Amino acid sequence: MKNLFPLFLLIISFAHWACEKPEDSTQEDENISFRNTLNEDLTDTQGSITDYFYNFEDEIDAKFFRYDPSLMASFDHYLDYYELSGDTPPELGFRTFQNHLVSMTPSDESQFTQRHYIDSLSVQDSIVPDSVLMTSTSFKNLEKLEWDLLADPSLQRYKLVNSDWVQADTMLYYSDTFDVSAYWSVVDTPFIDEGLLFVDSSEWFDTNYVFLADNQIRFITNFEFTKQQLSADSLVFRINTDCNDNGEWDAGEEALVDYNEDGVYEALYEYADNNNNGEYDAGDDIIQDYDGNDTISIAYEFDDSGNGIWDPAEPYFDINGNEEFNNSEPYQDRNCNEIWDDAEPRVNNESDCAGIGTFTEDTDGGFCDRGNKIFDLDEEFISKDSDGDGTLENYFYVIGDKPNNLIVDYSDPEDPEVLLEVGLGDDITDRWGREYTDLIETIEFNDLKKQYVDDVDSLITLYTREKIGHITGSSLSPDDYYITKSEWTKTSGNTSERFYNYHIFHEPKHLNQVVYPSYFLPVGFYFNPKEIQSGFWNERHLESEVLFYTHQGSLRDGEHVDTAYYDTTEIAVYFIEKSYDVESSSVTVPAAIKSFTSTSDGNYECLANNSVVADGSECPPADTTFNDCFKVTQIMTMTMLGSGVEFGQRTETWLAYKKGLVKSEIFIRWTEHFYNSDWTPNGPPDDNNEAWVGLNKIELTSIDVTPGAGVFRKLTQPIHSIELRDIGNHPDFDFEPFRVSTQKGIQTLDLRELDE
C-alpha cells in the first residue's frame, strides 16, 4: 500500500467580504454639520470617472516619482532632488492586468481544476541521487576530577570536568529510482464554494506530492570512538562500610543497656563539653550519670569495640598548612562516624587508656584501641573477582549517588596523599595494599546506528496559478472587478529592496476599492509588534469602500460628502469621520519624456533645467501642466473610544483628463505617536490648528495607454503563456501573492517610513 505525503500543499483560503461602510452621513453630534451633494444638481464642470481615473479595459503602464516622508520634507520639486543627487527620485510603476488575470466562480471548478499532463517535465524511471546523514550518539569525555573546596564542608565533593560534546556524522549517498510526473491546472482543489477567486496567470506555484513505497530503506553504520570515563571501580562514589577499619568483615556490635529508653543504642555524653576539649573537667555542666559508675564521662549503651590494630590519624588536606585539622578541611572518614579522628594514643600501660579505649600491645609497644562511638551493625560488603581467576574477594563499600568519597593514595603508608585532583591515567593504592589503576580510563567503543528513510515510489508535481484574492457573494460577476499592480524600490546604502502591491477596483455605484480594513493602535494598546503591520493592524477579511464618489458615473466640481460611523472591532471601538471634496483644478508634474534639443556643438540642452549634457538621456523630465483635471481631497479622522487618541489621514489627488492619476499626496497627523512617545509633528498647523506630516507623494512621469477593445473582459482566456521549464527565468514571473496591507488608491501606506 502506498502513502501520499504532500511536501507543499496549496490550499485556497476563504476570505469574508464584509458589509460596505455607509455612504450617507450619520449625524452623531448636533454641533457637527454634515453635507451630502450627491443628490443635488451641480452645474459646474463634470466628467466621466473612466476619463479622469482609468478605463480598466485599456492596457495601462504608468510611471510615477515616489516620495517617502524624508523626501517630501526635504524637496518641494523633483528638480531639487535631481540637482542634489544627479538622478531622478525613486519610481513607482503601475499597470493593469488585462492579459494576466483569471477569475473563477464555483461553476468553473471542473474547468480550472482539471489537470493537464506535461510530457516535457515528466520522466519514467528517473534515477535521483540522494543522501542520508547518519549521526552518532553524543557524549562528553571526562578530563579530570576536582574537589570543590569552595563549597560548604558538608557539600564538598568531586566535580567532573568534562570536554565539549563529542559527536560524529557521516553522509551516505545512494540513488532512488522512481517515476516523475508533472501536471498543470489553473488552481488546485479544494475549490471555492461561492464568490470569485482571482489568480495572476503570470505567477506559478508548484505543489509536490510524493508517493512512498510500503517498506523504507534501511541504513546501518558503525562509529568508533575512544572515550574517557570513570573506571568501573568508581572510587569517588564509594561509601565505606568497614566501620572499624580493619580490612575484614565484622558482625554488628553487642547492644547493652538503653539508659535513656529511647530505643536507640548510642554513646551518651554525661556532660556538656563547654570548652570543647573532648573530656570532662571543672568547666563542664553535668547532664546525668547514665551508667551509675560515679564517673562523669561517656555512657555506652553498646559494646563500642576497637579493631585490635593501631589506627593512624585519618588523612585530611591541610588547607592552611598549619599541620592541624580544622572542621573546614576535607578528610577521609575511615570509621563511618562523620567526624575526623586523630591517631590512637601510644601508651605503656592499661591505666593510660582509662576512659579512652582498650589497652592493646603490638610490636611497637601499646596503644589505646578506640571504638568509633557509634553503634555498628553487620558490615555490608560486595564480593567480586578482582583478578579474573575465579577467586572472590570481599570489598567493604556500597555505591552512593554523590562523588564525595575523598581519594587517598597509600603508596607511602607513612605519608598517605590526599588527591584533590584526579587526572587521566592516575593510579592509587589503598590502606590495605589494593591497587587501582586508571581511575579515569580510556576505552574503545562502537556506536552502531540504524536509520530508515522513505523509499519514493513516484513524484507528482502540480503547477498552479498564484492566488490574488477571494471575494464572496452569490451574485458577483468577474466583469465587475479590475485588478492592478504597483511596484517600487527602496534603497538604503548599497542595498535595494523591491516592493509591490495589488489593487482591486470595482464600480457598484461609485468607484470602490476592495481592501483589508486597517486601524491604528496607540502606545500600550498592542501586545506583539507583529500585530502592527506597517503601522496598522488589519482585519483578515476584504471590504469594499468608496474611493471616489460619482454622480451617475461622473466626477463633479463642488461635490462634497460627509460620513461618520462607529466601527466595532475585536480590539476597540473606533469613531470614524470622513469628508470628501472635489474641485476643478490644474496641476504641474514632471509628466513628459526626458526632453532636450540638439546644440550646434553636438551636445544636448535639457528643457527641464536649461543644462547642457553630452547625452540626451541624462536630461530630467520637463514639467507638464494639466489644466483639465479634478482635485479630490479626502480627510479621515479615526478616534479610538476610551483612549481618545486620534489618527488623521488627508489625501489630495489630482485626476487629469485621459491621463488618470497624475499626482497624489497623503498626509497624516496624530494626537499621540504610537512608535515614539517623544515624537512631535513637524508640519505647520493648518486653519484647524492640525499639524500634518507628509507620508507619501507620487507624481506622474510617463503613461502608456493601449486601448483594450474589451480584452480585459476576457478574463478566462489569458493571452500570454510560457513554458514551465522557463519559470524563474522570466522577469514577469515574480512569484508574488496578494498582500494584507493598508492602501489608498494605488499607494501603500507604511507608517514605519516616518522613522527611516
In angstroms, the CA 242 to CA 251 distance is 11
pLDDT digits (tens, 9 = 90+) for 480-508: 778 888 999 888 777 888 888 888 888 88
pLDDT at 524 over 70: no
pLDDT digits (tens, 9 = 90+) for 390-436: 788 888 999 988 999 999 999 999 999 999 999 998 999 999 999 99
Where do we find the cell 466628467?
47
CA 744 to chain centre: 32
Task: Delimit the domains of the chain by residue range.
Answer: 22-99+474-592+621-755
* Portion of the chain with pLDDT greater than 70, in percent: 83
Which of 356-360, 391-395, 586-590, 727-731 is predicted with the least confidence, judged by mean pLDDT?
727-731
Mean pLDDT, rounded, for 529-553: 77
Where do we find the cell 525613486?
90
Sign of the alpha-carbon torsion through 715, 716, 717, 722: positive
Helices (H), 517-622: none
pLDDT at 261 over 80: yes
Question: Residue by residue, what is the 3-state secondary structure of 475-522?
Answer: CCCHHHEEEEEEEEEEEECCEEEEEEEEEEEECCCCEEEEECCEECCC
Q: Where residue 228 falls among pLDDT bands split at 50, 70, 90?
A: very high
Q: How high is the pLDDT of residue 671? A: 77
pLDDT at 249 over 70: yes
Mean pLDDT, rounded, for 464-487: 74
Which of 188-192, 223-227, 664-668, 744-748 is predicted with the least confidence, judged by mean pLDDT?
188-192
Contacts of 677 (CB under 8 A, 6+ apart): 523
Where do we find the cell 558482625?
251
In angstroms, the CA 286 to CA 659 distance is 115
pLDDT digits (tens, 9 = 90+) for 47-57: 999 999 988 87
Q: What is the largest CA-CA distance in the chain?
A: 139
Which cell numbers hold the place of 317? 588536606
Q: Each residue of 208-220: b (16+ CB within 10 Å) or e?
A: ebbbbbeeeeebe
Which parts of 624-685 are beta strand (E)? 624-640, 646-656, 660-670
In angstroms, the CA 361 to CA 364 distance is 8
Yes or no: say if 508 and 499 are a contact pair by the CB < 8 Å rule. Answer: no
